[in-house]
């Protein structure tokens, strides 16, 4: 589809940079082709075919002995719309305040190629319709209520600036998820898969996981809150670790003393079995190879065998702190600083059976829900279990239990890891982002209350 | 000759009908926004986004399809027709998987076809330099202590214009203007990092103009919240156990949103949000009889109220705005509905709460302005009426609730112990946990209209893929007996 053509995006961005009268100009031209089919027990509930272009223009204009910066955005690749965005950015900056912190835009650079799978563009609704039908039928056979989403997205981006930087790339994403719920108000089961194309998705596995868990979770029993050994499946792990990407692993978070890294860098704060890095170039689910300033993303070891490392940086924070730019900028200007966007938790050597088998009395947790942060210094989090929480006794899963609320710090949890799964998955969470991670076994995980189901 | 915008919307509807749609609506949406912030005395964010596109939703064989395309000068009609074709293709591909066709309530038409937010001071008419001057003054007002690590002040202006047409003959035009601002300060000391904000954690946003920002008098509040942030770093953690708690209005706004608003969305009740956001404990058999709260608790949904972020002429299914009780005298009394779902609770018409984010999303049921009606207490009298050891807390810091909206746990920015009928020592990280009907059932006092205000939520997430929407919640401080405080640390 022409709208996601890298050449077209680059041409538009170059043209805008060339005509800009600003002292410095950066243009990011991008577009997504997104299709989705959402479903519930009544069948498909929503379906959409959307073309979503976006041009972001950042300018810096001379004003009273310094530079003032502003950004404007439009959702059109139309040259006139893009020019209007440039004009708005110029007008905004012309009346803005001078910033003494600005670092010059980065010059020419090479970035590793990143190209999405173009088959996603041609997929249409055929495969998604089939997945939805299979999910509905399988749930009907098992007397469970389905709810889920099938989605295909192809996203392309080009960044050009007035210092000679010109980079472009694309990514693709195909996802399918199913929640299978007991019609009598009991529990539910969940399964999902995320990949670069439809061929990578194991839809059978998603259906089997969700339906099996849902069928085994019809009559959960209440259990007292308290400290339990937990085996967190990858989706539950993602809910915890993604919070570290929102808050704590960026240089600004540390500088503002709102990070669990404060006072712990270089220390063995996590279990030795925990190694966490940010790696957009991973071969499981690669992301863009450059950040929102066009800087190549570096692979950053954030935690090495339990020892906490340094946070990620962007151009501003690298310059402020005299450290290398790791290429983790978000769209500029912003008030929140650099963040890791492609977290990967290293795999261990235990199968799921071995992780569960090592628990005398504990809980298997499929998913966590509405996780949120109470305090940034220890990354104190709270949230609920969801879609399949099971009691483990003497190494065996024995019965489903009603959902519980946890209140636990990520630092404590990661220090208490006693087992790491050998199989990794791409997993997301309620708020945003995705991470590649295995299951974890964690000792003394604190649950503080329970709910009715 | 080029078509005007309403004609473009009608043309897209016609294209959808010609392609086989049994029903179609088209929305052309133009959004202009300007955001400014000042952080630690320097400009932190200056953005001027603009969105302009068309979304077409169709119904065919009881199945919905949606297509969305950006609008480009000179080819708007082609974009509308392309979106219509995409919507029909979606529904056609999925129609065979339908198990039961969606419902579809009729709309009673009124004569109005235009709506515009009343504005006293056009926010876009306030110069960028004047806006920045105010933010700089607010930012400077928080200076003056070594423990302060972050000072932020921000403002945002939004103007959303919609042209909406449907195959049932609707042709509606509305302009929605929303304006707001806020400030916060973060201090770090003694291994603590603590934030205080004004007027609430996200500032405050309302429909209307710059008059709302002027009324906040932000620079007058900087020194106070700075000192409170610094003091929080020295404060003891809030104690745990059961206490009488007075909750401030901005925190109650969040409580209303999470424990009344979301479980009241009828699509969610019927399992259509289970794939991400969850379902609801407030099931239809409870309507009209379930005790949601004490007799003092009256919660009213109102998409016509002055200043509400979701105050408008019509929703995105061409349904006029309205006002109704969700909880009346403590009893569960009504839902947020759409044309798809109204029939499931025996109602002939939708309440008009189906909305979409921008031109590029299909509408889903969204909370509208939903408010706790004021009581009669004066705030100082209420505090004086509390026993020693009671707690007053306010300002959202953290929120989490289960997928059926029963078990919640919320943390506020700050709390004070009540001793001798007055606010005493300060506590950090006050966290309370509860179960929705128990919580509202424990309400035994609500402050009066003099303490009541609308609090805007400008980024409510729902749907899958997620959409954001805006709404307001009115509240005055209220007292709750026997609330469980959690030792969060």
Long-range contacts of A320-328 (CB under 8 A, 24+ apart): A320/A101, A320/A251, A320/A255, A321/A251, A321/A255, A323/A251, A324/A298, A325/A295, A326/A278, A326/A297, A326/A298, A326/A300, A327/A290, A327/A291, A327/A293, A327/A295, A327/A296, A327/A297, A327/A298, A328/A250, A328/A278, A328/A291, A328/A297, A328/A300
Contact A41 B47 (CB under 8 A): no
Contact A76 B270 (CB under 8 A): no
CB atoms within 10 A of CB A106: 20
Per-residue pLDDT tens for A165-208? 999 999 999 999 999 999 999 999 999 999 999 999 999 999 99
For chains A and B, CB pairs below 8 A equal 288
Nearest CA among B31, B28, B8, B95 for reference residue B68: B28
Nearest CA among A171, A20, A153, A3 for reference residue A77: A3
Structure tokens at A118: 């173009």
Task: Give the side-chain half-sphere CA count within 13 A for A246.
Answer: 20
- Contact criterion met (CB below 8 Å) for B294 and B443: yes
Q: Is B488 on the interface with A (CB under 8 A)?
A: yes
By Cβ distance, the residue of A39, A93, A148 closest to B46 is: A93
Per-residue pLDDT tens for B251-300? 999 999 999 999 999 999 999 999 999 999 999 999 999 999 999 999 99
Nearest CA among A69, A64, A132 for reference residue A332: A69
Q: Is A46 on the interface with B (CB under 8 A)?
A: yes
Structure tokens at A328: 């983790």
By Cβ distance, the residue of B39, B91, B399 closest to A47 is: B91
Predicted-assembly ipTM surpassing the 0.90 threshold:
yes
More confident residue, B46 or A88: A88
- Contact criterion met (CB below 8 Å) for A176 and A149: yes
Considering only residues 425 to 484 of chain B, which have any Cβ-Cβ distance to chain A shorter than 8 Å?
Answer: 429, 431, 433, 435, 461, 464-465, 484
Interface-testing mutation among B81, B101, B290, B402, with chain A (most A C-beta atoms within 10 A): B402
Res A1: pLDDT: 66
Peptide bond into A333 cis (omega under 30): yes
CB atoms within 10 A of CB A252: 23
By Cβ distance, the residue of A51, A73, A97 closest to B43 is: A97
Contact A177 B136 (CB under 8 A): no
Q: How far is B453 from chain A (nearest CA, A)?
A: 26
Q: How far is B431 from chain A (nearest CA, A)?
A: 9
Residue B489 has pLDDT above 80, yes or no: no
Q: Is A125 on the interface with B (CB under 8 A)?
A: yes
Report d(CA B416, CA B154) in Å as an integer.
27
Question: Which residues of chain A lie closer than 8 angstroms to B140, CB-CB?
Answer: none
- Contact criterion met (CB below 8 Å) for B347 and B312: no
Q: Is A99 on the interface with B (CB under 8 A)?
A: yes
Q: Is A1 on the interface with B (CB under 8 A)?
A: no
Per-residue DSSP letters for B43-99? EEEEEEEEEEEEEEEEEETTEEEEEEEE--TT-HHHHHHHHHHHHHHHHHHHGGG-S
Res A325: pLDDT: 98
Interface-testing mutation among A149, A214, A449, A450, with chain B (most B C-beta atoms within 10 A): A449
Helix (H) / strand (E) element for B251: namely helix B249-256
By Cβ distance, the residue of A47, A71, A452 closest to B65 is: A47
By Cβ distance, the residue of A35, A68, A453 closest to B43 is: A68
- What is the sign of the dihedral through the CA atoms of A346, A352, A357 and A361? positive
Give φ, ψ of B16 to 5 degrees.
-65, -45
Q: How far is B47 from chain A (nearest CA, A)?
A: 5
Residue B213 has pLDDT above 70, yes or no: yes
More confident residue, B112 or A104: A104
Percent of chain B with pLDDT over 90: 94
Structure tokens at B127: 């110069």
Nearest CA among B158, B157, B49 for reference residue A73: B49
Interface-testing mutation among B464, B467, B485, B486, with chain A (most A C-beta atoms within 10 A): B464
Q: Is B98 on the interface with A (CB under 8 A)?
A: yes
Res A9: pLDDT: 97
Contact B87 A49 (CB under 8 A): yes
Q: 3-state SS of chain A? A: CHHHCHHHHHHHHHHHHHHCCCCEEEEEEEEEEEEEEEEECCEEEEEEEEEEEEEEEEEEEEECCEEEEEEEEECCCCHHHHHHHHHHHHHHHHCCCCECCCCCCCCCCCCCCCCCCCHHHHCCCHHHHHHHHHHHHHHHHCCCEEEEEEEEEEEEEEEEECCCCEEEEEEEEEEEEEEEECCCCCCEEEEEEEECCHHHCCHHHHHHHHHHHHHCCCCCECCCCCEEEEEECHHHHHHHHHHHHHCCCEHHHHHCCCCCCCCCCCCECCCCCCCEEECCCCCCCCCCCECCCCCECCCEEEEECCEECCCECCHHHHHHHCCCCCCCCCCCCCCCCCCCCCEEECCCCECHHHHHHCCCEEEEEEEEEEEEEEECCCCEEEEEEEEEEEEEECCEEEEEECCEEEEEEHHHHHHCEEEEEEEEEEEECCCCCEEEEEEEEEEEEEEEEECCC
Residue B28 has pLDDT above 80, yes or no: yes
Peptide bond into A140 cis (omega under 30): no
Contact B94 A49 (CB under 8 A): no
Res B111: pLDDT: 80
**Which whole number is the average pLDDT over B7-15?**
98
Structural domains of chain A in order of their starting residue, each with its CATH number: 2-213 (3.30.2290.10), 220-453 (no CATH)
Measured between CA atoms, the residue of chain A closest to residue B51 is A75
By Cβ distance, the residue of A85, A99, A382 closest to B400 is: A382
Residue B456 DSSP SS3: strand
Question: Which residues of chain A lie closer than 8 angstroms to B90, CB-CB?
Answer: 35, 37, 47-49, 125
Residue B42 confidence class, pLDDT cut points 50, 70, 90: confident
By Cβ distance, the residue of B127, B272, B400 closest to A371 is: B400
Report d(CA A29, CA A9) in Å as an integer.
5
Q: Is B288 on the interface with A (CB under 8 A)?
A: no
By Cβ distance, the residue of A88, A99, A407 closest to B48 is: A88
Q: Is A86 on the interface with B (CB under 8 A)?
A: no
Res B1: pLDDT: 47
Res A271: pLDDT: 98
Res A99: pLDDT: 87
Contact A78 B48 (CB under 8 A): no
Q: Is A251 on the interface with B (CB under 8 A)?
A: no
Nearest CA among B375, B378, B355, B374 for reference residue B366: B355
- Contact criterion met (CB below 8 Å) for A171 and A285: no
Contact A452 B406 (CB under 8 A): yes
Res B470: pLDDT: 98
Output the pTM of the full model.
Answer: 0.97
Contact A43 B51 (CB under 8 A): no
- Contact criterion met (CB below 8 Å) for B156 and B179: yes
Peptide bond into B458 cis (omega under 30): no
Report d(CA B345, CA B338) in Å as an integer.
11
**Which whole number is the average pLDDT over B146-175?**
97
Contacts of B381 (CB under 8 A, 6+ apart): none
Structure tokens at A334: 């912003």
Res B109: pLDDT: 76
Contact B70 A52 (CB under 8 A): yes
Per-residue DSSP letters for B348-362? SS--S-EE-SSSSS-
CB atoms within 10 A of CB A25: 25
Contact A48 B90 (CB under 8 A): yes
- Contact criterion met (CB below 8 Å) for A96 and A69: yes
Measured between CA atoms, the residue of chain B closest to residue A84 is B50
Question: Which residues of chain A lie closer than 8 angstroms to B51, CB-CB?
Answer: 74-75
Nearest CA among B452, B485, B57 for reference residue B238: B485
CA distances from B46 to A11, A98, A210, A332, A336 (A): 26, 12, 45, 9, 14
By Cβ distance, the residue of A53, A70, A148 closest to B46 is: A70
In the numeric block, the tokens 């926004």 are attached to B33
- Contact criterion met (CB below 8 Å) for B149 and A253: no
Question: Which residues of chain B lie closer than 8 angstroms to A431, CB-CB?
Answer: 461
By Cβ distance, the residue of A71, A125, A431 closest to B93 is: A125
Per-residue DSSP letters for B185-246? EEEEETTEEEEEEESSBTBEEEES-THHHHHH-GGGGHHHHHHHHHHHTTSEEPPPEEEEEE
Q: Is A137 on the interface with B (CB under 8 A)?
A: no
In the numeric block, the tokens 């609008």 are attached to B71
Q: Is A67 on the interface with B (CB under 8 A)?
A: no
In the numeric block, the tokens 């109650």 are attached to B252
Contacts of B320 (CB under 8 A, 6+ apart): B107, B108, B110, B112, B313, B314, B352
Q: Is A219 on the interface with B (CB under 8 A)?
A: no
Report d(CA B328, CA B123) in Å as an integer.
37
Residue B437 DSSP SS3: helix
Interface-testing mutation among A72, A252, A263, A374, with chain B (most B C-beta atoms within 10 A): A374
Question: Which residues of chain A lie closer than 8 angstroms to B93, CB-CB?
Answer: 47, 124-126, 128-129
Structure tokens at B443: 């309400």
Q: Pairing mode, if any, of strands B467-475 and B453-462?
A: antiparallel
Contact B94 A149 (CB under 8 A): no
pLDDT in tens, chain A (453 residues): 688 899 999 999 999 999 999 999 999 999 999 999 999 999 999 999 999 999 999 999 998 889 999 999 999 898 888 999 999 999 989 887 888 889 999 999 999 999 999 999 998 899 999 999 999 999 999 999 999 999 999 999 999 999 999 999 999 999 999 999 999 999 999 999 999 999 999 999 999 999 999 999 999 999 999 999 999 999 999 999 999 999 999 999 999 999 999 999 999 999 999 999 999 999 999 999 999 999 999 999 999 999 999 999 999 999 999 999 999 999 998 989 999 999 999 999 999 999 999 999 999 999 999 999 999 999 999 999 999 999 999 999 999 999 999 999 999 999 999 999 999 999 997 777 899 999 999 999 999 999 999
Q: Is A184 on the interface with B (CB under 8 A)?
A: no
Q: How far is B401 from chain A (nearest CA, A)?
A: 6
Residue B2 confidence class, pLDDT cut points 50, 70, 90: low
Q: Pairing mode, if any, of strands A227-232 and A361-375?
A: parallel
């Amino acid at each position: 589809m022409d709208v996601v053509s890298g050449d077209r995006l680059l041409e538009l961005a170059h043209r805008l940079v060339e005509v800009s009268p600003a002292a410095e100009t950066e243009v990011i031209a991008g577009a997504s082709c997104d299709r989705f089919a959402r479903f519930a027990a009544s069948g498909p509930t929503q379906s959409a075919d959307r073309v979503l272009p976006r041009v972001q223009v950042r300018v810096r204009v001379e004003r009273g002995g310094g530079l003032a910066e502003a950004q404007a955005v439009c959702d059109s690749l139309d040259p006139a719309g893009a020019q209007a965005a440039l004009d708005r950015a110029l007008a905004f900056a012309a009346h803005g305040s001078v910033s003494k912190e600005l670092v010059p835009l980065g010059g020419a650079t090479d970035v590793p190629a990143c190209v999405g799978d173009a088959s996603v563009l041609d997929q249409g609704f055929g495969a998604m319709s089939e997945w939805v039908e299979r999910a509905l039928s399988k749930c009907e056979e098992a007397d469970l209520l389905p709810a889920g989403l099938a989605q295909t997205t192809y996203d392309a981006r080009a960044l050009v600036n007035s210092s000679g930087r010109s980079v472009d790339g694309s990514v693709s994403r195909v996802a399918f998820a199913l929640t299978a719920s007991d019609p009598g108000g009991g529990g539910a089961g969940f399964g999902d898969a995320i990949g670069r194309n439809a061929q990578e998705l194991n839809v059978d596995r998603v259906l089997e996981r969700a339906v099996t868990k849902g069928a085994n979770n019809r009559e959960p029993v209440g259990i007292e809150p308290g400290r339990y050994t937990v085996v967190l499946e990858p989706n539950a792990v993602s809910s915890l670790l993604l919070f570290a990407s929102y808050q704590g692993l960026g240089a600004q978070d540390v500088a503002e003393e709102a990070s669990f890294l404060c006072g712990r860098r270089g220390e063995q704060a996590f279990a030795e079995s925990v190694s966490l890095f940010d790696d957009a170039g991973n071969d499981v689910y690669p992301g863009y190879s450059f950040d929102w300033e066009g800087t190549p993303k570096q692979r950053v070891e954030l935690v090495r065998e339990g020892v906490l490392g340094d946070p990620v940086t962007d151009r501003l924070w690298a310059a402020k702190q005299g450290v290398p730019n790791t290429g983790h900028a978000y769209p500029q200007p912003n008030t929140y600083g650099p963040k890791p966007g492609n977290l990967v938790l290293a795999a261990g050597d235990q199968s799921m059976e071995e992780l569960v088998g090592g628990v005398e009395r504990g809980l298997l947790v499929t998913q966590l829900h509405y996780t949120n942060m109470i305090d940034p210094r220890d990354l104190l989090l709270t949230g609920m279990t969801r879609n399949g929480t099971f009691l483990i006794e003497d190494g065996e899963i024995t019965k489903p239990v009603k959902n519980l609320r946890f209140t636990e710090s990520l630092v404590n949890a990661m220090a208490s890891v006693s087992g790491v799964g050998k199989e990794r998955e791409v997993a997301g969470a309620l708020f945003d982002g995705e991470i590649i991670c295995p299951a974890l076994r964690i000792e003394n995980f604190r649950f503080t209350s329970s709910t009715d189901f | 000759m080029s078509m005007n915008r309403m004609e473009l919307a009608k043309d897209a509807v016609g294209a959808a009908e010609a392609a086989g749609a049994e029903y179609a609506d088209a929305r052309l949406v133009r959004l202009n926004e300007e955001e400014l912030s000042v952080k630690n005395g320097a400009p932190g964010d200056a953005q001027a986004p603009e969105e302009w596109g068309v979304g077409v939703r169709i119904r065919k064989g009881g199945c919905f399809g949606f297509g969305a395309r950006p609008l480009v000068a000179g080819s708007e009609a082609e974009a509308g027709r392309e979106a219509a074709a995409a919507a029909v293709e979606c529904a056609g591909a999925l129609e065979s998987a339908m198990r039961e066709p969606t419902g579809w309530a009729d709309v009673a038409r009124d004569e109005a076809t235009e709506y515009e937010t009343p504005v006293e001071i056009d926010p876009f008419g306030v110069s960028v330099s004047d806006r920045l001057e105010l933010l700089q003054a607010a930012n400077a007002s928080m200076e003056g202590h070594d423990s302060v690590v972050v000072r932020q002040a921000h403002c945002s202006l939004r103007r959303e214009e919609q042209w909406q047409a449907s195959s049932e003959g609707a042709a509606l035009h509305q302009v929605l203007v929303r304006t707001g601002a806020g400030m916060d300060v973060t201090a770090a000391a003694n291994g603590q990092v603590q934030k205080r904000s004004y007027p609430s954690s996200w500032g405050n946003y309302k429909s209307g103009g710059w008059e709302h920002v002027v009324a906040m008098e932000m620079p007058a509040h900087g020194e106070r919240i700075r000192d409170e942030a610094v003091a929080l770093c020295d404060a003891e953690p809030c104690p745990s156990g059961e206490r009488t708690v007075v909750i401030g209005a901005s925190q109650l706004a969040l409580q209303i949103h999470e424990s009344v608003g979301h479980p009241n969305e009828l699509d969610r009740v019927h399992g259509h949000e289970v794939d991400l956001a969850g379902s609801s404990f407030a099931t239809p058999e409870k309507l009209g009889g379930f005790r949601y709260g004490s007799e003092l608790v009256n919660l009213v949904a109102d998409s016509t109220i002055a200043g509400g972020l979701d105050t408008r002429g019509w929703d995105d299914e061409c349904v006029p705005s309205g006002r109704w009780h969700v909880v009346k005298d403590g009893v569960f009394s009504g839902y947020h509905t759409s044309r798809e779902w109204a029939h499931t609770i025996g109602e002939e018409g939708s309440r008009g709460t189906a909305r979409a984010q921008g031109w590029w999303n299909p509408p889903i049921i969204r909370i509208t302005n939903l408010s706790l009606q004021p009581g009669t207490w004066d705030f100082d009298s209420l505090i004086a009426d509390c026993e020693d050891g009671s707690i007053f807390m306010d300002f959202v810091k953290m929120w989490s609730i289960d997928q059926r909206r029963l078990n919640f746990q919320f943390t506020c920015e700050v709390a004070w112990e009540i001793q001798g009928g007055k606010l005493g020592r300060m506590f950090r990280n006050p966290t309370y946990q509860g179960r929705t009907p128990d919580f509202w059932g424990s309400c035994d006092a609500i402050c009066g209209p003099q303490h009541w205000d609308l609090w805007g939520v400008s980024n409510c997430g729902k749907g899958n893929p997620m959409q954001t929407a805006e709404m307001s919640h009115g509240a005055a401080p209220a007292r709750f007996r026997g609330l469980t405080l959690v030792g969060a640390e």
